[in-house]
A and B are shown apart, each in its own frame.
Chain A
Amino acid sequence: MYEKTLVLGLYSITPVHAGSGAELSVVDLPIQRERHTGFPTIWGQSLKGALRSAFEREGKNKGVIYSIFGPDTDKASEHAGAISVGDARILLFPVRSARGVFAYVTCPMVLKRFRRDMEFAGRNDIANFEVPSVEDKEAVVPQGSILTINRNNETLVVLEDLLLTAKENELSQIINAIEKIIPDGVDDLGKRLVVVSDNVFTAFVKFSTEILARIAIDQSRGTVKEGGLWYEEFLPADTLLYSIIAISKPKGGSLNDAEAVKSELQGFLESKTYLQVGGDETVGKGFMKIKVL
């Protein structure tokens, strides 16, 4: 059914609000999360929509767009699009660090899933790394990490207000694998990477996203409008996600085979380098640097 795949790396340059709707909670507008893990995500449909609108804006040929993404809504029943855009999954989450400013944090569960997904995508060149095991009070860091603090013969890492014992480990396989999907211009991975336990990672992605208060002001009074205060959650800048795009033979439009769809899509994404995803575009949010392979 699916003949080809593309892997998309997405690195947030500005905070991203891929929203899941309004909620009756402290945060009025939360971000999309996976139901079973609570990890932040960008749903496939949001991503596909962002890709389609970028494609359409570029003035691409209608036939090509119909082949790749499917026809316009009023003709949606005619045929499906040739691509299936997977949910963007988290790989690195930035967490504030007492030393080294901030860290790229990941965990065994995320890494194993990444490896499995790369195998599924037929990218065994990326999927060949070992995943270290890590205890709740540990942080696995590569040699030369800028995050560590030495105190009384102990090497430590402080992430947010959590003190972890640093364990130096050979992480070059993992760094190489992630570097394949990280967009160009982000080259401090080796210095900032930390692998923490699944529990610790879950706590970070749940409780240390960016939550901003937004207000609307009434011009006649110069004070906040009634109902004009809301809290909005963002995936912070410097987060890395990836998505797998599976490609099948087109069922309509002007392209003939999966290879043509792939090269059309790949060519376009390589020329783009940036994609705007999620809400609040006009206040500078949701700009992601992309890499396609």
Chain B
Amino acid sequence: MTPIYFLPRNLLSVLRDRKGRITPQTVDNLSLLLDRFAPFVKGGKEKTAKTGGKVLKDVLGEIEIPESLVRTYRVFYNRYKEGLLKSIKAEWVVLTTKSRLVVGLGDESIYETSIRLLRNYGVPYIPGSAIKGVTRAWSIEMLAELLEGADGFSKDFFERAGEVQELLSKGDADGFPDKAKVPSHASEELNEFLSAFGVRADPGSDVDLRKIVKDLVDIFGTQDKEGSIVFFDALPDPDNLKSIFEWDIMNPHYGPYYQQNDKPPGDWYDPVPVIFLTVKSGVEFLFAVAQSSTAKKDLKRVAQELMVGALKYHGVGAKTSLGYGRFKFKNTARRGQ
């Protein structure tokens, strides 16, 4: 079916291909294509034209990034990596998506779902703010695990995490006990968290909790003080770009139950398929951290280890509780300065 575009006729005649579609082959910046040239269809009984993830998928099919864009993006990527990151002595590491990744799923969009793309290049990326956010969130969870049963903290894990967050935001290291015991059932991720600080996590041993908290306060900053670490946007490797996208579906069955208070989750509702765009697994991203202008102590290495832990266990972007947004080291993990 030929899609409908609400665009001036002369513009449309320039952008459409033979089948009447606007695709990455006719508009090579995907961010521009998705933002400005939304396809619509008139379906079945409905009188008004509509758009959404499904329409987009039907029109675009499997998205293939044109070579011209890969070339242009490569210039930018190299300027970023070899130029900026090297010159400010950033530490970088290449990690690979282990599951699908979608950042900015809830961003405002005509399709109802969205994905965060670099404005100028139409390439998916992970904002530094998201990376800093999950690194901090994961660190808070790990502290909450360490503080299980500690005096003055809630018994409930999530409430405890909230208390930890509150203290960290204020930079109140003294609100934490001086020492904490490594639980006998310490998880693998807790071990990894502690090893970022060079602490060996033998079950039952004491760790210098306040020292760890001080470093965390330093890394992430407080309401009054800038953090000492810069978390850069993570960019996909240009070699992975060609078929980086994958369509995905969520299929909620109980729409009215979610939307209205008085409706039960009954089997009699129709499922509503929602199609959205993701980054597929197996794509390499470049992550980097550097010292900020106010840094006194060099915590780059610690911050990088924490970031890797967070990306491995916590995940970044939307739907992390369903396993999205996880990263892994490849065997040939690459890192450098």
Which residues of A are in contact with B by a Cβ distance under 8 Å? 13-14, 53-54, 57, 94, 96-102, 146, 149, 151, 156, 158, 160-161, 163, 185-186, 188, 210, 212-214, 217-222, 236-238, 273-274, 276, 280-285, 287, 289
Stretch at the interface among B75-83, B178-186, B190-198, B246-254: B75-83
- A98 to B132, Cβ gap below 8 A? no
Best-buried of A158, A221, A273, A283 by chain B (most CB within 10 Å): A283
B17 at interface (Cβ–Cβ under 8 A)? no
- B14 to A163, Cβ gap below 8 A? yes
- B133 to A274, Cβ gap below 8 A? no
- B137 to A236, Cβ gap below 8 A? no
B290's nearest neighbour on chain A, judged by CB, is: A284
- B233 to A284, Cβ gap below 8 A? yes
B221's nearest neighbour on chain A, judged by CB, is: A282
Chain B min CB distance to A189 (Å): 12
Chain A min CB distance to B169 (Å): 10
- A238 to B120, Cβ gap below 8 A? yes
Chain A min CB distance to B13 (Å): 7
Chain B min CB distance to A276 (Å): 6
Chain A min CB distance to B300 (Å): 13
- B29 to A217, Cβ gap below 8 A? no
A162's nearest neighbour on chain B, judged by CB, is: B11
A183 to B11, CA, bound (A): 35
A150 to B87, CA, bound (A): 42
- A161 to B29, Cβ gap below 8 A? no
B129 at interface (Cβ–Cβ under 8 A)? yes
- B83 to A185, Cβ gap below 8 A? yes
Given A102-B29, A213-B108, A221-B158, 13 new contacts (CB under 8 A): A13-B79, A14-B84, A94-B120, A96-B29, A96-B31, A96-B119, A100-B72, A101-B121, A151-B13, A218-B162, A221-B162, A276-B293, A284-B231
- B233 to A282, Cβ gap below 8 A? no
- A101 to B128, Cβ gap below 8 A? no
B134's nearest neighbour on chain A, judged by CB, is: A217
Chain B min CB distance to A209 (Å): 9
Taking a contact as CB atoms closer than 8 A, the residue among B10, B36, B69, B132 that contacts A101 in the complex is B69
B264 at interface (Cβ–Cβ under 8 A)? no
Contacting residues, chain B, for A285 (C-beta < 8 A): 128
A188 to B141, CA, bound (A): 46
- B137 to A217, Cβ gap below 8 A? yes
- B10 to A163, Cβ gap below 8 A? yes
- A281 to B292, Cβ gap below 8 A? yes
Contacting residues, chain A, for B226 (C-beta < 8 A): 281-282
Chain B min CB distance to A14 (Å): 7
Given contacts A156-B14, A163-B8, A220-B158, contact A101 B129 (CB under 8 A): no
Residues 104-121 of B at the A interface (beta carbon under 8 Å): 107-108, 118-121
Given contacts A161-B36, A220-B159, contact A98 B27 (CB under 8 A): yes
- A186 to B79, Cβ gap below 8 A? yes
B28 at interface (Cβ–Cβ under 8 A)? yes
A107 to B7, CA, bound (A): 26
- A13 to B36, Cβ gap below 8 A? no
- B26 to A98, Cβ gap below 8 A? yes
- A98 to B119, Cβ gap below 8 A? no
A-B contact list, 21 entries, CB within 8 Å: A53-B293, A96-B32, A99-B28, A101-B120, A149-B14, A151-B13, A156-B14, A158-B11, A158-B15, A158-B27, A160-B32, A161-B37, A163-B10, A163-B14, A219-B137, A219-B164, A220-B161, A274-B87, A281-B230, A282-B231, A283-B132
Given contacts A217-B133, A219-B140, contact A281 B14 (CB under 8 A): no
- A96 to B164, Cβ gap below 8 A? no
B118's nearest neighbour on chain A, judged by CB, is: A237
Taking a contact as CB atoms closer than 8 A, the residue among B8, B158, B232, B293 that contacts A284 in the complex is B232
- A97 to B29, Cβ gap below 8 A? yes
A90 to B232, CA, bound (A): 25
A216's nearest neighbour on chain B, judged by CB, is: B133
Chain B min CB distance to A193 (Å): 15
Given contacts A98-B28, A218-B165, A287-B84, contact A236 B119 (CB under 8 A): yes
Contacting residues, chain A, for B118 (C-beta < 8 A): 237
- A283 to B158, Cβ gap below 8 A? no
Contacting residues, chain A, for B131 (C-beta < 8 A): 283
A213 to B162, CA, bound (A): 23
- A161 to B7, Cβ gap below 8 A? yes
Contacting residues, chain B, for A160 (C-beta < 8 A): 32, 36
Contacting residues, chain A, for B69 (C-beta < 8 A): 101
A210's nearest neighbour on chain B, judged by CB, is: B119
Given contacts A96-B29, A96-B31, contact A284 B83 (CB under 8 A): no
Contacting residues, chain A, for B83 (C-beta < 8 A): 13, 185, 289
B107's nearest neighbour on chain A, judged by CB, is: A213
- B32 to A98, Cβ gap below 8 A? yes
B227 at interface (Cβ–Cβ under 8 A)? yes
A40 to B226, CA, bound (A): 26
A179 to B9, CA, bound (A): 38
Best-buried of A13, A212, A220, A273 by chain B (most CB within 10 Å): A220
